[in-house]
Structure 1
Amino acid sequence: MWMYLGLLAALFLGLHNLCKKHAVQGNEVFPVLLGTITAGFLFIVPFYIGSIFYPDITRELGFYIETIPWTTHGFILIKSMIMASSWILAYQALKHLPLTIVTPIRSAGPFFTFIGAIVIYKEAPNNWQWLGFFMIILSVIMYSQIGKKEGIHFKSNKWIFAIIGATFLGASSGLYDKFLIQGLLLNPQTLQFWFCFYTILILLLILSITWFPYASKRKAFKFRWTIPAVGILLQTADYFYFKALQDPEALIMLLSAIKRSQIIIAVVLGGILFKEKNKRKKLIPLAGIMIGVFLILYS
C-alpha cells in the first residue's frame, strides 16, 4: 500500500512543479516561497483548530494534530532549516533553467537517499527493486546529456550546482523524515503543521533583511494564483508521502524513487505549457524512469 501512496504523492508533486515554474517567473524567490508555505499552512490550520475544540471528530477523520514535547519541536525545526535551504536553492535554479532540466536533476535525489538508506537504516531491497532503482538513476543521467543541447553545460552553469545542492538537501530531509515518522512516531498532519510554522518564521527572518525594507522590490512582486496552489499541492503530496512512511515495511530509498515518477507531468505538460525544447528526446529517459517505477511496484 505504501508504494501506491507514494504514487499519489508523485501526482501532486508533478502538478506542484508546474505551478511553481509559473509562480516564480518575473518574481523574487523568497516572497514566492513565503506565499506558498503560508498558503499550505493556512490549508492545515483548520485541522489544528479542530484538534483543540473538536478532538474526537478530528481523530475520527484522521487529521488530529497531537501535542508534542519541546524536544520534538527542536527536531522539526531542524527539518525546516534543511528544507528552507533546499527550496531557496531550487527556486533560484528554477528561474534560470528549463523545467524539463530541473525536474530530472531533482530526480537524482533517490541516489543520495539510497546511500543514506543503506548506511543508516540498513535497508535491503530485492533484485527487482535494485534493477528498478538503477533504471531510474541511469535515465536521469541521460537527461543531463540532453540538457547540453539546450546550451546548459552542467560543469559551468552555477544554477546547475544550485539545483544539485537543493537535491542533496532534499534527500537528506527525506532520510530525516523516516526518523521523524517512525522514530518519533509523529503523524503526518502534526509534522506538516509545525514544519510549515517554523519554515514561515525562517523565511520571515530572511525577508525582513532582503525584501521587506525595499519598496521597489515589493512593488515589482506579482501575485499569481499559482502561488497558493503550490502550497496546497505540496501539503497534499506530503500528506500521502508521510502516510506511506508510517508503514513499518516502507523503504525510504524506494519511496524516494517512486516519488520521481512526477517527472511524467513535468516533461509532458511542462514541455507543452512552457514551450521547452527537445520534448521528444526527453521521452526516452522518461520511459526509463517509468520502467524503473514499474519494476519496483512489480517486486
Structure 2
Amino acid sequence: MWMYLGLLAALFLGLHNLCKKHAVQDNEVFPVLLGTISAGFLLILPFYIGSKLYPEQMLKMELYITDIPLKTHGFIIIKSAIMAASWVLAYQALKHLPITIVTPIRSAGPFFTFIGAVTIYQEKPNFWQWIGFFLIIFSVFLYSRIGKKEGIIFKKNKWIFAIIGATFLGASSGLYDKFLIQTLALNPQTLQFWFCFYTILILLIILSITWFPHADKRKAFKWRWTIPMVGVLLQIADYFYFKALQDPEALIMLLSAIKRSQIIIAVVVGGLIFKEQNKRKKLIPLAGIMAGVFLILYT
C-alpha cells in the first residue's frame, strides 16, 4: 500500500513542478516561495482549528493535529531550515534553467537518500537496486551533455550548482522525515502544519532583508494563479508521502525513488508547455532514469 501512496505523491509532485515553473518564470523568487508555503499553510489551518474545537470529529477523520512537546518543535524547526534552504536554491535554479534540465537533476535525489538509508537506517538493497541507482546517476550525466547544447555548461553555471545543492538538502530532509514520522511518531498533518508555520517565519526573515526593503524588487513581483496552486499541490503530495512513511515496512530509499517518477510529467508535458529545446534527446536519459526506478521497485 505504501508504494501506491508514493505514486500518488509523485503524481501531485509532477503537477506541482509544472505550476512552480510557471510561477517563478520571469518573477521574483522569494515572494513566490512565501506565497506557495502560505497557501499550503492556509490549506491545513482548518485542521488545526478543528482539532481545537472538534477533536473527536477530527480524530475520526484522521486529520487531528496533536499537541507536541517543545523538543519536537525544535526537530521540526530543523526540517524547516533545511527545506527553506533547499527551496531557495531550487526556485532560483528553476527561474534560470529549463525545467527539462532541473527536474532530471532533482531526480538524482534518491541516490543521496539511498546512501543515507544504507548508512543511517541500515536498509539493505539488493544488487539490482544498486544498479538502478547508478543508472539514475549516469542518466543525469547524459542530461549534462544535452544541457551544453542549450548553452548550459554544467561546470560553469552557478544555477546547476544551486540545483545540486537543493537536491542534496532535499534528500537530507527525506532521511530526516523517517526519523520524524517513525521515531517521533508524528502524524502527517501535525508535521505539515508546524513545518509550514516555521518555514513561513524563516522566509519572512529572509524577505525582510532581501526583498521588502527594495521597491524595485517589489514592483517586479507578478501575482499568478499558479503560486497558491504550488503550495496546495505540494501539501497534498506530502500528505500521501508521509502516510506512506507511517508504514513500518516502508523503505525511505524506495519511496524517494518512486517519487521521482514525477519526471514523466515534468519532462514530457513541461517540455511541451514551455517549448524547451531538445525534448526528443532528453527522452533517452529520461528512459534511463525510469529504468533505474523500475529496478529499484521491482527487483
Structures share fold, TM-score greater than 0.5: yes
Give the TM-score taking structure 2 as reference length. 0.97
1:149 and 2:149 are equivalent in the alignment: yes
Residues 254, 297 of structure 2: 8 Å contact kept: no
Any stretches of 5+ residues in structure 1 without a counterpart? none
**Matching residue of 1:14:** 14
Stretches of 4+ moved more than 4 A in 1? Answer: none
Residues 9, 237 of structure 1: 8 Å contact kept: yes
Residues 38, 200 of structure 2: 8 Å contact kept: yes
- Range 64-73 or range 132-141, more displaced: 132-141
Tell me which amino acid in the other structure corresponds to 1:92: Q
**Matching residue of 2:213:** 213
1:244 and 2:244 are equivalent in the alignment: yes
Q: What's the CA shift for 1:41?
A: 0.3
Residues 23, 227 of structure 2: 8 Å contact kept: yes
**Matching residue of 2:288:** 288
**Matching residue of 1:58:** 58
1:235 and 2:235 are equivalent in the alignment: yes
Q: What's the CA shift for 1:74?
A: 0.2
In structure 2, C-alpha distance between the alignment counterparts of 1:133 and 1:111, rounded to whole Å: 6
Any stretches of 5+ residues in structure 2 without a counterpart? none
Tell me which amino acid in the other structure corresponds to 1:241: Y
Q: For residues 131-168 of structure 1, give each alpha carbon's deviation from its aligned partner in whole angstroms, at most 9, with x where no partner exists.
A: 43333333222222211221111111111111111111
**Matching residue of 1:188:** 188
In structure 2, C-alpha distance between the alignment counterparts of 1:236 and 1:144, rounded to whole Å: 31
Q: What's the CA shift for 1:31?
A: 0.4
RMSD (Å) for aligned C-alpha atoms: 1.2
- Range 266-275 or range 55-64, more displaced: 55-64
Q: For residues 181-226 of structure 1, give each alpha carbon's deviation from its aligned partner in whole angstroms, at most 9, with x where no partner exists.
A: 1110001110000000000000111111221122332222110000
Tell me which amino acid in the other structure corresponds to 1:75: F
1:70 and 2:61 are equivalent in the alignment: no
**Matching residue of 2:173:** 173
Residues 6, 255 of structure 1: 8 Å contact kept: yes
Residues 113, 174 of structure 1: 8 Å contact kept: yes
In structure 1, C-alpha distance between the alignment counterparts of 2:115 and 2:159, rounded to whole Å: 24
In structure 1, C-alpha distance between the alignment counterparts of 2:21 and 2:291, rounded to whole Å: 26
In structure 1, C-alpha distance between the alignment counterparts of 2:214 and 2:248, rounded to whole Å: 49
Tell me which amino acid in the other structure corresponds to 1:132: G
Residues 133, 254 of structure 1: 8 Å contact kept: no
1:272 and 2:285 are equivalent in the alignment: no
Q: For residues 32-87 of structure 1, give each alpha carbon's deviation from its aligned partner in whole angstroms, at most 9, with x where no partner exists.
A: 00000000000001111111111111111111111000000000000000000000
Residues 28, 222 of structure 2: 8 Å contact kept: no
Tell me which amino acid in the other structure corresponds to 1:28: E
Give 3-state SS (helix, strand or coil) of 1:196's partner.
helix
Q: How many residues align?
A: 299
- Range 66-75 or range 254-263, more displaced: 254-263
In structure 1, C-alpha distance between the alignment counterparts of 2:111 and 2:128, rounded to whole Å: 17
Give the TM-score taking structure 1 as reference length. 0.97
Q: For residues 224-251 of structure 1, give each alpha carbon's deviation from its aligned partner in whole angstroms, at most 9, with x where no partner exists.
A: 0000000000001111111111111111
1:200 and 2:200 are equivalent in the alignment: yes
**Matching residue of 2:162:** 162
